[in-house]
Amino acid sequence: MADAEIRPFRVEVPDEALDDLRDRLGRTRWPSEVPGAGWSRGVPLGYLKELAGYWRDGYDWRAQEARLNQVPQFVTEIDGQPVHFLHARSPESGALPLVITHGYPGSVVEFLDAIGPLTDPRAHGGDPADAFHVVAPSLPGFGFSTPVREPGWAMTRTARAWAELMARLGYERYGAQGGDIGAGITGMLASLDPGHVVGVHLNSDPLAVAAVALPPGDQADQAAVTAEHRTSLERMRQFQADGLGYLQLQTTRPQTVAYALTDSPAAQLAWIAEKFKEWTDPKADLPEDAVDRDQLLTNVSLYWFTGTGASAAQFLYEAAHGGDWPGPSDVPQGWAVFAAGDDLVRRLVDPDGKIGHWSEFGRGGHFAAMEAPDLLVQDVRAFFRALR
Annotated catalytic residue, options 130, 180, 281, 342:
180
DSSP per-residue string spanning 350-373: -TT---SEEEE-SS--S-HHHH-H
CA nearest to 255, candidates 308, 301, 311: 311
Largest CA distance in the chain: 60
CA nearest to 100, candidates 3, 165, 40: 165
3-state helix, strand, coil in the chain (%, to 5): 50, 15, 35
CA nearest to 243, candidates 205, 204, 278: 278
Annotated catalytic residue, options 317, 342, 357, 379:
317
Q: How far is CA 214 from CA 218, 256, 340, 348, in A?
A: 11, 29, 15, 7
Annotated catalytic residue, options 102, 246, 366, 379:
366
CA atoms within 13 A on the CB side of 230: 3
> From the CA atom positions of the chain, what is the Rg in Å?
20
CA nearest to 159, candidates 199, 198, 188: 188
Residues 6 or more apart in contact with residue 112 via CB below 8 angstroms:
67, 68, 71, 295
366 classed as catalytic: yes
How many C-beta neighbours within 10 Å does residue 94 have? 10
| CA 37 to mean position of chain CA atoms | 29
180 classed as catalytic: yes
Residues annotated as catalytic are 180, 317, 366
